[in-house]
Each structure stands twice: as structure tokens, then as C-alpha cells.
Amino acid sequence: MKNGIKYITAALILLVTLGSCSSSQSLQEYYVDSSENDNFLSFDVPTSILNIASANLSPEEKKAVESIKKVNVLAFNKTTDNVDSYKVEKTKVNAILGNKKYTQLMKINSKMAKGVVKFTGEEDAIDEVIVYGYKDDKGFALIRVIGDDMNPAYLGKFISAMEKSDVDEGALKKIGDLIGS
């Protein structure tokens, strides 16, 4: 009888352990897996490319800039040869971003692209902002802005800081060209 209870207890522990494991792919795992795929372009955007001079910023703008740690870009360039892969990858991204841990901030629906902006964390302490945009004839881009306790109000302040900065427009244009804009 005691052996039976031990087996049942062990089985329950195993079931709980296996049940708590998520079988869905995380966004980070997707980035890593896709960086090895020839259909993708993957790179980090260094904050130095923005040339944001902190001397000219208000305290709120400085806080906004300092809250952003890194920006990762993953882009799928659609061609006539990879249409099926594009559909598969777009489905994967939609499944990942459909996870309840991502809160929608806004939808994108313009002539240039469609997509969504989502975030993780709390509304007043955002850990990550995800911008996913696609144009079915060009491909898609997945941009992760990773930071510490970012505030949605910081996004406006960050844009204001960028407007005051001496952005390396040549470098940004090269990034845009790579994505296929």
C-alpha cells in the first residue's frame, strides 16, 4: 500500500512538472532560431547610432533614453522563392504574440504596413516593447525594445529626445534598406 502511494505521489509530481512546462516558443527563442535562417536578417541597433546628446535633454527625456537598454531587429524579406516559408514564419510570430503575457498597446494599419505594438511588464514599468509590422508583398519586421521600467510616457519623450539629437541618418537609411522599406 505504501509503495502504491509513493508511485501515485511520484506520478502526480511528474504530471505537475510536465504540465507547468510551456510548449510554446518564446520570442527570445524565436529570435535565436531565426537568426540562423537565410530568409532572415537579424541585428541589434546600438543606441550610439542615435547620437543622443544628454546635455540638451530635459530630466524626463534623459530618463526615457536611459530606460532603453537595447533594440533587436529581426526581418523576413519575402521573395518569390520563400512564399511558403513566409506564411509559416508569420503564423509562428502571430502565435507567439498571441500569448497573454503580451499586452497590446496599439494596432498599425497604414499604407506602408500593418501590424501591432505590444509590451510585457506593467503599464507603468514596461520591460519590453514589441513592434511587429508586415506587408505581405515585402515581408515582416519584428523589433524588440528592451529596457528597465520603461513608461509609456517615455516613448513620447524618447521621440522628443531623438528629434533633438544628431541622428546618423545614413546608418538609419541603411537599416531601412536592409528591412526592405
Summarize pLDDT for 55-79 with one digit per residue, the tens.
566 777 677 777 778 888 999 999 9
Residue 135 clears pLDDT 90, i.e. is over it? yes
Residue type, 108: I
Residues 6+ apart with CB under 8 A from 144: 27, 31, 71, 72, 128, 129, 130
Tell if the pTM clears 0.85, that is, is over it.
no
- CA 155, 160, 165, 170 torsion-angle sign: positive
Confidence bin at 19 (pLDDT 50/70/90): very low
- Given a contact cutoff of 8 angstroms between Cβ atoms, the answer to whether 61 and 161 are in contact is yes
Residue 177 Cα distances to 40, 49, 60, 77, 181, angstroms: 14, 16, 32, 11, 6
Phi, psi of 132 (to 5 degrees): -120, 115
CA 135 to chain centroid, in Å, comes to 17
Distance CA 81, CA 180 (A): 16
Mean pLDDT for the chain overall: 76
Distance CA 181, CA 171 (A): 14
How many Cα atoms occupy the beta-carbon half-sphere of 100 within 13 Å?
1
Which of the residue ranges 57-61, 106-110, 132-136 would you say has the lowest mean pLDDT?
A: 57-61
Supply the pLDDT for residue 153: 67
Confidence bin at 115 (pLDDT 50/70/90): very high
Taking the CA atoms of the chain, what radius of gyration do you get in angstroms? 21
Supply the pLDDT for residue 74: 94
Supply the pLDDT for residue 23: 55
Distance CA 65, CA 157 (A): 8
